[in-house]
Each structure stands twice: as structure tokens, then as C-alpha cells.
Structure 1
Amino acid sequence: MAEVGRYYDGETGQRLTVEVTLVETGVLRLSHPELQNGPVPGQLDWPFDQLRALPDQARDDQLIVTLVADHSDDSSLIDNVRLTLVGAALIHDVRAVCPLLDKRDVARGTGFKVVTRLGMAVAAFVLMIFVILPAMANTFANLIPIEREVAYGKTIVRNMERVFGGREAGQLMCSSPKGDAALAQMVARLTENTPTDYDLNIAVMNNDMVNAFAAPGGQIVIMKGLIDKAKSADEVAAVLGHEIAHVESRDPTRGALRAAGSAGLLSMVVGDFTGGGIALAMTQWVLDASYTREAETQADVYAREMLGRAGVSTAGMATFFRTLEESTKGGPDLPTYLSSHPSSGSRSDLAASFAEMQSNTTSVINEDDWKALRSICDGHSKTGKATKGSKT
């Protein structure tokens, strides 16, 4: 028994009310005097296995079907013709004899296209991470206003305190009148003949780690463990000069921006420091910072020249690096050319050679001030967990 449906040829917009018959030969036959595209005038046969239901059906009481496109590489894979079936019985019968009605066809070569585009996406991601973002970080590090960089650096230092267990800002920072004065005198001696672009904010954190960190915007943190490890104030001054070099070169800013990605770049540009995840990513980079060998070498050169202009011997720098080298003996040690940092031994030799050319040098601060600096954390409550290690 024939039912009726609404047929659209997809070209003229003309609608024909056609008779629809399910033929045992496996075709859905459409009949109307004006149908001229079939092998028989007034008749079109749509094979059951080529019928497809459109994915978006607006009504439950009708079914819109069409044909698979003639060419499997057609972008739509669906022909433009449409046939709207009405009547529950007809819809039920069509669904019963057309098992592929709801199939979503995939064009020939789709797998290759997917693999190709996935490869392109991976390549784009790698390009973004290892080329574009570093280039953007380098560019923005030189364009960001210093006051904005300083604000972000302070946020990173605050997060650094949280990492080491501080619950309140400044809780882990050591301070005493004589110790603060000694540290200020050391900074003044170093920068007197080597002006800096930043108002340096240098603090001592009550932690046993033998390290010092440079954060964006002139923020430098020296760990108490480093002061305890040093045999003289000149050793601390050498490390401080090295960290000041990183600050002046904006190495921490570039590295932190790369660590935080595009979100970090945007937040730094607009001055929004409320993104905790971004600030934490930058803080973690500062704590784990591994600068390039070139950046480390340049920082050592800067520190030696700074000490030289201040009239401070670089012998302390040589001693400090020699101590670090001795502390790593017995453990795995990469050759210099495989390391991202110059070896402690070569750094010590260069500092020692520089010291031999110096004359009329004096200690960066006197013995009483050095004692005051070593005692800056005395009586300070250590709430953070002490961590042993050396990365300077």
C-alpha cells in the first residue's frame, strides 16, 4: 500500500507530494508525474542501503531522509534531495528495512586526514611551547614596565614562603636591626659602582637550603643555609652579585613567563596577579630554575666584574664554588659540556684567576657586620620545613 511523502529535489526548491512504496527488491519507490530524473519517467528508486536519516529531526511524527552522496569524497556525504515521511506506520516500516538509516558515513581518506591534522596540531603545539612562547617571553620581558614586574616578583616571593610552610607574609623572613644593616651595607658596597635598573629587595629566609633565588623585579631571596655554609661575607657577596646579574638580565622574568605560558604573558601584560595557578607555576619555576649555560656564564662574569669594581676580592667566589664542588663528590656529576650550568670547578678557577689580578681589595663588610648577618635569623621561629640541597 502506497503512502505519501514530501519530496524536495534540492535544486529548485519545488515540493512534490509523492507516493512512497517499499518494494521487495530493496528500494523505496517514489512516484509522481513530474519526477524525471529516474530511469523510468515519473519514478525514482532509492535503495534501502543508501537511505540516511538527517541527524537533526525537528519533529517526532515525521522522518526526513536523504541519499548518500554519489562521491564518497564529498565533504557532506549527503545528497541535497530530501524526502519527508509522515505516518507512524510508514516510518516504522522504513526503519525496519533500512538498517543503515542512522549511520554517519565517513569520507574516503578521513583517517589519513585525521592523522595528518593531528600531526599538524602536535607540531603547532611544539612550535608554540618551544619557539613562539619563548620568543614572546623574551619580547615581553623587555617590554613589561618594571613596576609591573616588581609586583609580580613580590607575589612570587610570597608564594615561595607558602611552599616552605609560611602561613603569613613575612613569617619566614629573618630580620634584626644589625643583620638588616649589614645586608644593606653589603648591597650598597656592591652597587655603588655598578648601578642597577631595579630597587633591589633582598631578604633572608629561615631555611637550611644552601641556595639563593632571583625573582622578577629585583626580588632576591637568600636562604639561611647558604649564609651558614659560607666561610666569609665575600662568598655571600659573590652569590648575591650572581643573582643580581640574573635580575638585571631579566632571566627570572623570561623563565617565569615561559613556565606560566600564554596565560602568564597575558596576566603580566594587563597587571592581573590574581591567578593563583599562574603565580604558583611561576614560583615553582623560580624554585627549580635552571638557566641556560650562557645565562649562568654571563651572570658569573657580571658578578666578578661587580666585585672587582667594588674592590672586593673574588677569592671568596672561588672558595664558595670549590666548596660546592667538594660537596657533590661521590655522587653523579655530568661533564661540563652536558650540564646546563658551568661546572663548579671551572667557575672556581675563573674566579681564582680573576682574584690574582686584583689589588687593594677589602672584605665587603667588616667582621662585626658579618657576625650580625650570620645571626640575622637567631631567635626567629622556623615554621617551614628545612630542606637540604644546593643549586646556586
Structure 2
Amino acid sequence: MKKLFAPSRNVILILVLLGSLLLGYFYLLPWAAEQVASIIPKSSEKVLGDAVYSSMQESEDSKGSALLTAFFDSMHVATSYEIRVALADDKTVNAYALPGGQVVVYSGLLKKMKHYEELAALLGHEFIHVEKRHATRSICRSLGSQFFIELLLGNMGSMVSVAAGQAEQIRTLSYSRQLEKEADLGGLQLLLDRKIDAKGFTDLFAHLKEEESGLVLPEIISSHPDTDARAAYIKKAAAGQRPVSHPSLKHIFDQLKKSLP
């Protein structure tokens, strides 16, 4: 007896193909991106990050950039990366890290800061993104097959060109909740090791929360942990801290604030 609504072979093949594509997107692509990011030399990461930053054409404040980099250097963080912190003259309340050591802080965020501990928290967070190659991994995942093909061909120049051509897309890349939490807790550990007040993190989150507008998605369906959740796990991890003052960091921070228009 002939079955009604029996699926045709073509329908089954299409469903199998769609299932394979979804499997590849959600599982194989992230795994492949991890593998690609892990084998890119740090020197090539720097070339990649510099090319992307140049393509972004940020309006950089050279004096502010020098002070920001001096601030980070004064935190005495051991790393094989050359961390360079740029101050971009933009009212956006944000900051981001690029592959190879380039960090960008927008003046809009810096203007909201009142204490040097907030800047230490921000740079600690962004440093972990660099150190753990979060930006490199995200770019590899975002650009996907284009990156993989050029890597297989050993064509670093083309990889850089592909990334530079997608600078605006890269600027708006977001990290998963897992990577953001790793950067938060890694940055916090830098502060704890140096006895810099961890309240800098919660104050920083308060500024970010002020900028949240429109519909805020529940954390369970958002790609990011919300600011309240981030503040909660920071407070828990920093419980019992006994911070000390850091006059050198405060001095550089005060210079930065005075230099802002």
C-alpha cells in the first residue's frame, strides 16, 4: 500500500544537507577557528592587527595614546606581546582589542571614568582578550572559509587583505559570554595581584550599563553576560581584597583626564 506523505529522496537529502551545514556552523567552524588562531605566529598577529586598525581610520589622539600605553606599562604585566593602547577621539562609550597587541579606547568611555582603578580594570580586561587570542579567534570564525583557504595556501598577505577589507565588520565583533567572563576574571586577577581596587570593575560596568538602551535581552538568550551578572561575579571573586594606593597610576590617569577636550 502506498504511504501518504512519504518523504521523497530529494527531501531527505536536503534535510541531511541542512543538518550537516548547521553542524558545521555551530560545531566545526568554531573548532576550526580555534585551530587556525592557535597556529598563527604572534608576529603575523601583529601584522594582522595593525592592518585592521589602519583600515578602521580611527581619529587617534597621539598624546592620549602615549599616556594610555604608559599607564598599561606601569601596571607591569608580563607578556610576550607589545601592548599598544590608542585613544580614539570618539564619543562612543567602548573599547576593543585587536590581534597582536593593539587596544583601542574611545574618549567617550574615558570621559566617564572618575578613578584610575576603572582604567586599570578596562585595560586588564582588554589585555586578556589579546593574551588569550580572543580577537584572533573571533576574526577567524567571522571570516571563515576565506581565512582558511588563504592559510592553506600559506598566503599571509592575502589573509591580512581579507581582514583589512572587513575592518568595519571586525570593529563590531562581539565575544561569547564565556570569553567575556574569561577576560573579566583574568583582568580581575591582574588587579588582585597588584592590589588595585577591584571596585574599578564594578564602576566600569556601571558606565557601560548607563549606555544600554532599548530592549535588554535576558542573559540566557543574549550572547553576553549582562552587566549586573558581571558585577556580581567580580564582587564574589574579589571578596576580602585589601587594595593599596598606586600614585604612579593615579598621576598618569590625572594627566589623561586633563588632556581630554
Q: TM-score, normalised by structure 2?
A: 0.84
The aligned runs of 1:168-187 (5 Å cut-off) are: 172-176=59-63, 179-187=64-72
Tell me the secondary structure at the aligned position of residue 103 of structure 2: strand
Distance (whole Å) between structure 2 residues aligned to residue 217 and residue 159 of structure 1: 15
Q: Is contact 2:99-2:130 (8 Å) kept? A: yes
Unaligned runs of 5+ in 1: 1-110, 167-171, 379-392
Partner AA of 1:216 in structure 2 = P
Question: Cα 1:181–1:290, aligned 2, differ >3 Å: closer, same or farther?
Answer: closer
Matched, 1:160 2:160: no
Residue correspondence of structure 1 range 131-142 to structure 2 within 5 A: 131-142=27-38
- For residue 272 of structure 1, give the secondary structure of its aligned residue in structure 2: helix
Pairs within 5 Å for 1:1-392? 112-161=8-57, 172-176=59-63, 179-190=64-75, 192=76, 194-268=77-151, 269-273=154-158, 276-281=161-166, 283-328=167-212, 331-363=214-246, 365-376=248-259, 378=261
Shift of the alpha carbon at 1:259?
0.9
Distance change >3 Å, CA 249–CA 273, structure 1 → 2: same
Q: Structure 2 CA distance, aligned partners of 1:266 and 1:364?
A: 50
Q: Confirm or deny: 8 A CA contact 2:219 2:226 kept in the other structure.
A: yes
Following superposition, the deviation at residue 302 of structure 1 comes to: 0.4
Alignment deviations for residues 184-217 of structure 1 (CA, whole Å, 9 cap, x no partner): 3321233x2x422311122111111111111111
Aligned residues: 253
Given that residues 74 and 249 in structure 2 are in contact (C-alpha distance below 8 angstroms), is that contact kept between their aligned partners in structure 1?
no
Report if aligned partners of 2:93, 2:208 keep a CA contact under 8 Å in 1: no
Q: Distance in 2 between matches of 1:117 and 1:200?
A: 50
8 Å CA contact 1:313, 1:361 repeated in 2? yes
SS of equivalent residue, structure 2 residue 157 = coil
Amino acid across the alignment from 1:150: K
Counterpart code for 2:229: S
Tell me which residue corresponds to 2:4. none
Gaps of 5+ in 2: 1-6
Checking the alignment, whether the CA contact within 8 Å between 1:189 and 1:310 is kept in structure 2 is: no
Compared CA separation, residues 327 and 288, structure 1 to 2 (3 A): closer
Distance 2:13 2:231 in 1: 51
SS state at 2:48 partner: helix
TM-score, structure 1 length as denominator?
0.58
What SS does the corresponding residue of 2:201 show, helix, strand or coil? helix
Which has more radius of gyration? Answer: 1
Higher strand content, 1 or 2: 1
1:241-298 Cα deviation digits (max 9, x unpaired): 11111111111111101111111133355312477554333x3443222211111111
1:146 partner amino acid: K
Within 1, Cα distance between the matches of 2:169 and 2:232?
Answer: 29
In 2: Cα distance, 1:360 partner to 1:303 partner: 15
Structure 1 pair 304–364 and aligned structure 2 pair: CA distance change class (3 A) = farther
User: How big is each residue's C-alpha offset from its partner over 1:86-130, in whole Å with a ceiling of 9 and x where there is no partner?
Assistant: xxxxxxxxxxxxxxxxxxxxxxxxx94544444444344333333
